């Protein structure tokens, strides 16, 4: 979103997003009684205090630690009673965040990331007992003035992200990964922007949410998974909501059902509580004081935990930066139950941090991604793989840009041809079609520009597409959408099946015409109850599989005389691993009529696998996740996919799945296709390979 657009968007969001109760309740009532901190840290050595993070030691809660920024003093480690245990040079630190369970060299580590406002970079450390150890492969440079950093561990794929926020409204999300030599590095996953300075952020790992405090506008919530939509929700704002001027810090408290968002309203000296179980509804305000009862006038950066820490923190802890403390800038440690009691907030069941949130599906990574398509937005759609029998590594992929035409890619993902032939939605191909007595690779695509079936020859030597349609081959469909081809083992004839948005599937025979042209002859209509798109023909078994997007995967006979008798392979209602839309479907051929069907379960970013033969038994689902070291993002919201069991070169000796990726990130770019080795899929789901 551009800034001008964003400003208009802000105005409209503020009118609609804030609950009426928030608008009616101006913060005019007398301030709440201050809750005294249980302890406070020694003043930082440098005199600055901006942000702390809490490490909960699950084996010995008294060994839990506070890691805090000390500006030019780097990072300091404090005990729960406030004693400084150690410090380490980390530049001019303005932000810090911690996460457990990050694996370095196969060993779990407590990862700390520091935002260095002096060099505008991110630096990585491991917390080991009372000390921090520098584990960064480098200081990761940022191209803006960094204000703070938070960490997010994605429950979908266990990937770790550092999110740096900046002076110009930058929300810069970096995937953090361990290098082969045991250091920690990061790659930019995506960049989101707000119009003005952002000073604080915090991520909710289990909920997949990112909260950011924008100085001028207030408190926002985003999806934290970079493979999701990045539009924000406004939670609170100055003037229209509760915030007086600006938010000075944000933190999350999690203890069973008690899930609070805490924000410091710096200029009024209060902490605000929002109920994450009720869409972040405002729940009350509190104020804090030092252990002697003197008010903390401007609470700054916050950290919180719902873990039972003992030592007065049996229901968790809130840590607030206090730049103006009498003895020098320090951090106040306040018991959560003391804050919660006057407000009647639930303290929940104290919990230790979840050590491992298990991903839902076995995960694989892509080995190659293609060059992004030229068109913006949802543009890439459906691929078809051409196997080169003479030189498998020189195999090709034809892929649609549904706004512009057809790409031809090599197996390294590079574009070798682009045919600007219009809005091609889906594409498929078959070998051995006889044209002027010679076998060709016949390619067809659903042409939404001309409401037609587009027909090409793949010139495999020149690696380009040649239009061989005998004029425009009108489909008679309102909008040609899904498409697949069928080569009958029984008759040797070639067919193409195309769907419209209303569930109609029309089948034509592809016939050679004089002069090296090809035309279509309609042979059958099959009607489904609602929209279908993904389809694949099983040539050897004479079957056609069609995905009715919101409902089911169906099997019908592929021969023109097979009528419209159909069988359900699986349904969205019956299989909890499926989440509509059901999209692209393809076939892995093990020979002798055996193999697998693979279908995109678009609604939960996964792929379901079924037996090709028999009753099409469900074999499991997998997801394709990000690979930080290789720099290839995961796949989300796949429309079209193709699968081949034939060798396709190094890494793809047993074939591959090529799938459209709805969000091409790491870094954020236009859409593309990912190539996943069948070897990896087979290992994840214990499947056979050819
Ligand atoms: Ca799409
Ligand atoms: Ca296809
Ligand atoms: Ca679709
Ligand atoms: Ca992606
Ligand atoms: Ca990418």
pLDDT along the chain (690 residues), means of 10: 42 42 46 92 95 93 95 96 97 97 94 98 98 98 98 92 98 97 97 96 96 95 95 94 94 93 94 96 96 95 93 93 95 97 86 63 97 97 98 98 98 98 98 97 98 98 98 98 98 98 98 97 98 98 98 98 96 97 98 98 97 98 96 98 98 98 97 98 98
Q: Determine the distance separating the centroid of ligand 2 and the alpha carbon of 110, expressed in angstroms.
A: 44
Q: What is the pLDDT of residue 21?
A: 40
Q: Determine the distance separating the centroid of ligand 4 and the alpha carbon of 529, expressed in angstroms.
A: 31
Q: Determine the distance separating the centroid of ligand 5 and the alpha carbon of 542, expressed in angstroms.
A: 37
> Tokens in use for 19?
């609950």
Radius of gyration for the chain, computed over Cα atoms and rounded to the nearest angstrom: 29
Q: Determine the distance separating the centroid of ligand 5 and the alpha carbon of 36, expressed in angstroms.
A: 49
Determine the Cα–Cα distance for residues 488 and 241; give it in Å rounded to an integer.
Answer: 66
Q: Determine the distance separating the centroid of ligand 5 and the alpha carbon of 633, expressed in angstroms.
A: 5
Q: What is the pLDDT of residue 257?
A: 87
Q: Determine the distance separating the centroid of ligand 1 and the alpha carbon of 487, expressed in angstroms.
A: 28
Determine the Cα–Cα distance for residues 349 and 352; give it in Å rounded to an integer.
Answer: 10
SS3 assignment, position 13: helix
Residue-level length of the chain: 690
> Tokens in use for 25?
């309740």
Q: Determine the distance separating the centroid of ligand 1 and the alpha carbon of 402, expressed in angstroms.
A: 10
Q: Determine the distance separating the centroid of ligand 1 and the alpha carbon of 446, expressed in angstroms.
A: 16
Measured from the alpha carbon of residue 365, the closest ligand is 4
Nearest by Cα to 402 from 429, 374, 428, 430: 374
Q: Determine the distance separating the centroid of ligand 2 and the alpha carbon of 425, expressed in angstroms.
A: 9
Q: Determine the distance separating the centroid of ligand 3 and the alpha carbon of 639, expressed in angstroms.
A: 6
Q: Determine the distance separating the centroid of ligand 4 and the alpha carbon of 325, expressed in angstroms.
A: 46
Q: What is the pLDDT of residue 202?
A: 98
Measured from the alpha carbon of residue 640, the closest ligand is 2
Q: Determine the distance separating the centroid of ligand 2 and the alpha carbon of 484, expressed in angstroms.
A: 6
Q: Determine the distance separating the centroid of ligand 3 and the alpha carbon of 229, expressed in angstroms.
A: 18
Measured from the alpha carbon of residue 626, the closest ligand is 4
How many CB atoms are located within 10 Å of the residue 55 CB?
A: 18
Q: What is the pLDDT of residue 239?
A: 87
How far is the CA of 365 from the CAs of 438, 506, 624, in angstroms?
A: 40, 36, 5
Determine the Cα–Cα distance for residues 61 and 54; give it in Å rounded to an integer.
Answer: 12
Measured from the alpha carbon of residue 661, the closest ligand is 4
Q: Determine the distance separating the centroid of ligand 1 and the alpha carbon of 379, expressed in angstroms.
A: 7
Q: Are 178 and 205 in contact (CB under 8 A)?
A: no
Q: Determine the distance separating the centroid of ligand 4 and the alpha carbon of 418, expressed in angstroms.
A: 22
Q: Determine the distance separating the centroid of ligand 5 and the alpha carbon of 221, expressed in angstroms.
A: 24
Q: What is the pLDDT of residue 16?
A: 40
Q: Determine the distance separating the centroid of ligand 4 and the alpha carbon of 263, expressed in angstroms.
A: 32
Determine the Cα–Cα distance for residues 672 and 408; give it in Å rounded to an integer.
Answer: 12
Measured from the alpha carbon of residue 581, the closest ligand is 3
Q: Domains of the chain (ranges plus CATH)? A: 3-12+34-343 (2.120.10.30), 363-685 (2.120.10.30)
Q: Determine the distance separating the centroid of ligand 2 and the alpha carbon of 642, expressed in angstroms.
A: 6
Measured from the alpha carbon of residue 501, the closest ligand is 3
Q: Determine the distance separating the centroid of ligand 3 and the alpha carbon of 269, expressed in angstroms.
A: 52
Distance between first and last Cα of the chain: 46
> What strand order describes the sheet that includes 170-178?
146-153, 160-166, 170-178, 184-193
Q: Determine the distance separating the centroid of ligand 5 and the alpha carbon of 428, expressed in angstroms.
A: 24
Q: Determine the distance separating the centroid of ligand 3 and the alpha carbon of 366, expressed in angstroms.
A: 22
Measured from the alpha carbon of residue 378, the closest ligand is 1
Tokens 């935990």 correspond to 305
Q: Determine the distance separating the centroid of ligand 1 and the alpha carbon of 637, expressed in angstroms.
A: 6
């Amino acid at each position: 979103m551009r800034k001008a657009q964003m400003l208009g968007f802000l105005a409209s969001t503020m009118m609609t997003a804030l609950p009426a109760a928030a608008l009616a309740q101006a913060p005019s009532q007398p301030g709440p009684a201050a809750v005294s901190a249980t302890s406070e840290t020694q003043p930082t050595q440098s005199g600055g205090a901006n942000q702390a993070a809490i490490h909960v030691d699950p084996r010995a809660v008294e060994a839990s630690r506070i890691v805090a920024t000390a500006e030019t003093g780097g990072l300091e480690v404090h005990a729960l009673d406030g004693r400084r245990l150690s410090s380490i040079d980390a530049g001019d630190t303005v932000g810090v965040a911690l996460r457990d369970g990050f694996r370095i060299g196969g060993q779990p580590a407590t990862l700390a990331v520091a935002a260095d406002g002096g060099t505008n970079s991110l630096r990585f450390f491991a917390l080991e007992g009372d000390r921090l150890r520098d584990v960064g492969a480098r200081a990761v440079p940022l191209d803006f003035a960094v204000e703070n950093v938070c960490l997010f561990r994605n429950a979908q794929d266990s990937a770790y992200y550092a999110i740096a926020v900046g002076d110009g409204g930058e929300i810069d999300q970096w995937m953090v990964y361990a290098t082969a030599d045991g250091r920690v590095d990061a790659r930019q996953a995506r960049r989101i922007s707000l119009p003005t300075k952002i000073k604080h952020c915090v991520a909710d790992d289990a909920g997949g949410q990112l909260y950011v405090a924008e100085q001028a506008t207030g408190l926002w919530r985003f999806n934290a998974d970079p493979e999701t939509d990045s539009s924000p929700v406004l939670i609170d704002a100055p003037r229209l909501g509760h915030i007086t001027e600006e938010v000075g810090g944000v933190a999350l408290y999690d203890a069973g059902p008690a899930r609070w968002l805490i924000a410091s309203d710096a200029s009024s000296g209060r902490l605000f509580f929002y109920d994450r179980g009720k869409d972040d509804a405002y729940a009350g305000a509190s104020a804090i004081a030092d252990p002697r009862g003197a008010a903390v006038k401007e609470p700054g950066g916050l950290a919180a935990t719902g873990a039972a820490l003992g030592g007065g923190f049996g229901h968790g802890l809130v840590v607030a930066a206090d730049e103006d403390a009498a003895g020098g800038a320090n951090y106040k440690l306040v018991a959560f139950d003391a804050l919660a009691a006057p407000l009647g907030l639930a303290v929940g069941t104290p919990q230790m941090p979840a050590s491992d949130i298990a991903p839902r599906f076995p995960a694989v990574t892509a080995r190659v991604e293609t060059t992004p398509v030229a068109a913006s937005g949802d543009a890439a759609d459906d691929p078809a793989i051409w196997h080169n029998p003479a030189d498998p590594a020189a195999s090709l992929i034809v892929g649609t840009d549904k706004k512009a035409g057809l790409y031809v890619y090599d197996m390294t993902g590079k574009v070798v041809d682009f045919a600007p032939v219009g809005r091609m939605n889906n594409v498929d191909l078959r070998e051995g079609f006889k044209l002027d007595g010679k076998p060709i690779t016949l390619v067809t695509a659903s042409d939404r520009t001309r409401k037609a079936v587009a027909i090409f020859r793949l010139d495999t030597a020149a690696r380009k597409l040649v239009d061989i349609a005998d004029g425009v081959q009108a489909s008679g469909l309102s909008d040609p959408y899904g498409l697949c081809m069928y080569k009958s083992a029984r008759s040797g004839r070639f067919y193409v099946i195309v769907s419209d948005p209303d569930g109609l599937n029309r089948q034509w025979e592809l016939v050679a015409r004089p002069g090296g042209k090809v035309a279509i002859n309609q042979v059958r209509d099959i009607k489904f109850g609602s929209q279908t798109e993904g389809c694949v023909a099983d040539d050897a078994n004479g079957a056609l599989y069609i995905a009715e997007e919101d409902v089911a995967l169906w099997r019908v006979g592929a021969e023109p005389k097979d009528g419209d008798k159909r069988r359900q392979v699986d349904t969205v209602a019956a299989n909890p691993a499926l989440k509509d839309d059901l999209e692209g479907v393809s076939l892995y051929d093990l020979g002798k009529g055996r193999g697998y069907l693979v279908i995109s379960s678009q609604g939960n970013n996964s792929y379901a696998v079924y037996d090709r033969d028999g009753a099409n038994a469900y074999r499991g689902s997998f997801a394709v996740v990000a690979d930080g070291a290789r720099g290839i993002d995961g796949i989300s919201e796949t429309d079209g996919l193709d699968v081949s069991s034939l060798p396709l070169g190094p890494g793809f000796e047993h074939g591959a799945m090529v799938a459209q990726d709805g969000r091409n990130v790491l870094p954020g770019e236009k859409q593309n296709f990912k190539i996943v080795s069948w070897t990896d899929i087979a290992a994840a789901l214990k499947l056979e390979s050819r």
